[in-house]
Amino acid sequence: MGGGTYDKPVAWVNASASPTGAAGAHDSLRKVLTYTGTDIVERACTRISVPRSSIGPDGLVADPAVGERLAGVLTALAEHVAERRRTDDA
């Protein structure tokens, strides 16, 4: 594959205290990545609500539900990459 993001699998996580936080940024990023021909992995793109109360004094998110959501994002992205490899090799 060449440089840049063309045809590269991409996903993003929008973590915000509000479930709809930074929706405009989320949509703008989608527009730019679509324009550049990026392979957006829709099922791995998500918004995760991270209330301030779930952030510990060490700055880490202690909420196991957030960790599970992030694991789901990484799994979806990895599965997509594996499927592309199988398709490309066929």
pLDDT digits (tens, 9 = 90+) for 3-44: 788 999 999 998 888 767 677 888 899 999 999 999 999 999
Residue 2 covered by a domain: no
pTM of the prediction?
A: 0.80
For the chain, how far is it from start to end, CA to CA, in angstroms? 17
Residue 83 covered by a domain: yes
Give residue 60's domain range: 9-89
Residue 3 covered by a domain: no
The whole-angstrom separation of Cα 88 and Cα 1 is 12
Q: What is the pLDDT of residues 38-83, one digit of tens each?
A: 999 999 999 888 888 888 899 998 889 998 999 999 999 999 999 9
